[in-house]
Chain A
Amino acid sequence: DARVTQTPRDKVTEMGQEVTMRCQPILGHNTVFWYRQTMMQGLELLAYFRNRAPLDDSGMPKDRFSAEMPDATLATLKIQPSEPRDSAVYFCASGSGTGNTEAFFGQGTRLTVV
């Protein structure tokens, strides 16, 4: 059963520290999304990659967030420095084709910044 894998599942860190979240998309999928989920804002798109190229990161605070795909099997989302308002669940999702197909979500990373 192919699944999107995210690590870590939970992360508690102090304000100002760097946080790195990792995602392994489903093998063969060429589209990767990063979403942030909060009670107030729902699922907010942070970044979107197709064939490892970033196509849309307009929803991502550029001063502290960065997203990359070093290779087809790994996507990363970094926050440096982290702030308490970054506390949320971060989901990675992958899909195939041109983007208008099902997105398969990972289990999410629950981030708490204290």
Chain B
Amino acid sequence: GENVEQHPSTLSVQEGDSAVIKCTYSDSASNYFPWYKQELGKRPQLIIDIRSNVGEKKDQRIAVTLNKTAKHFSLHITETQPEDSAVYFCAASGYSTLTFGKGTMLLVSP
């Protein structure tokens, strides 16, 4: 089955800095790569996703890049704000289950 590795497990940045979270996957058949944000005590919610027919996608301060050859994808958050503090999960999916990485706790200090 699919295996998703996520790094780093924790990330501390100053407000205004950029944050980058990286993931690798094992199944070359995977073609859908979402990113979820989970605030403390709440449900995971989708913030951005990318499919294998594109290499980059951007939504305001958030961008995701995908390298299918190397089987890795990354989340980039620019101009971080304290409200970006949360746990971020990457995931990979083919035409079946959605497999998650173990999460990155992002802390943005004012």
Contacts and interface: CB of A to CB of B under 8 A. Distances in A.
Contacts of A101: 32
Interface of A: 33, 35, 41-43, 45, 48, 55-56, 58, 91, 93, 98-103, 105-108
Interface of B: 1, 31-32, 34, 36, 42-46, 49, 51, 89, 93-103
Contacts, number: 56
Contacts of B51: 100
A99 B95 contact: yes
B19 to A, nearest CB: 19
A100 B95 contact: yes
Given A42-B89, A58-B1, A99-B96, A105 B101 contact: no
B90 to A, nearest CB: 11
B41 to A, nearest CB: 9
